[in-house]
Amino acid sequence: MPGDEWQKFANLRALLGHQWMHPGHQLLFMGGEIGQTTEWSHDLGVPWQLLQYDYHKGVQNWVKALNRVYTSRAACWQHAFSPEGFEWISGDDIGNSVITYLRKGSPDDPALLVVCHFNVNTIDIYTIGVPYPGKWTEILNSDAEQFGGSGVTNGTLTSTKEKTHGREDSVTIRLAPLSMMVFEGEKPPKEASSAKV
């Protein structure tokens, strides 16, 4: 990982977050859940003593949070291997190093908006198109202080009627540095849940 120690751990948390939210199954090698800094050793095992350090403990807390969200939201796994479970919002913002996409379960389930920011700066105003209006609550943010981040978080946002990314509604967020964030929408309106994916 490039950068100083903080940036290396922030990059790792962002990578793990993107991996958990992306379609398919996750693969985590032994020691990855605590940010192991050495190669796996059959003789030594996982260096659990690293958990005495805040950054390593933060990675472990992050993996726990990812697992809680993954197992409690069908959007993360229900259609992990079919087009119904994934939809790009934007994958071309190379200037800001941002990708955004949706994870979806059943038509009546709330969508999950995934935002990955792979740059070291904070962007205070960033607008993203959403599939339907309402409140969008931040349920994961790898930059939260409990995970070793800088604490740039968003809480609950209310969409506005501003066309963005080819959608009628949008939310404006603060983009944390080197981060992955997940926002859960309210239950979609009937017209949105019945629309073809």
Dist CA 26 CA 24 (whole Å): 7
Top-confidence residue, 178 or 30: 178
Above 60 in pLDDT, residue 193?
Answer: no
Residue pLDDT, tens place only, 73-120: 999 999 888 889 999 999 999 999 999 999 999 988 999 999 999 999
Above 70 in pLDDT, residue 195?
Answer: no
Above 70 in pLDDT, residue 194?
Answer: no
Above 90 in pLDDT, residue 181?
Answer: yes
Above 60 in pLDDT, residue 148?
Answer: yes
Q: Which two tokens stand for residue 157?
A: 């946002």
pLDDT of residue 28: 85
pLDDT of residue 191: 62
Top-confidence residue, 81 or 148: 148
pLDDT of residue 111: 95
Strands (E), the chain: 86-93, 98-103, 112-117, 123-130, 135-141, 156-158, 169-175, 179-185
Q: What CA–CA distances, in Å, run from 26 to 15, 35, 45, 79, 126?
A: 11, 16, 21, 14, 29
User: In which residue are the tokens 């809480």 written?
Assistant: 155
Write down all domains in the chain, each with its CATH number in brackets: 1-197 (2.60.40.1180)
pLDDT of residue 197: 44
Dist CA 42 CA 126 (whole Å): 46
Residue 94 makes CB contacts below 8 A (sequence gap 6+) with none
| φ, ψ of residue 69 in degrees (nearest 5) | -65, -45
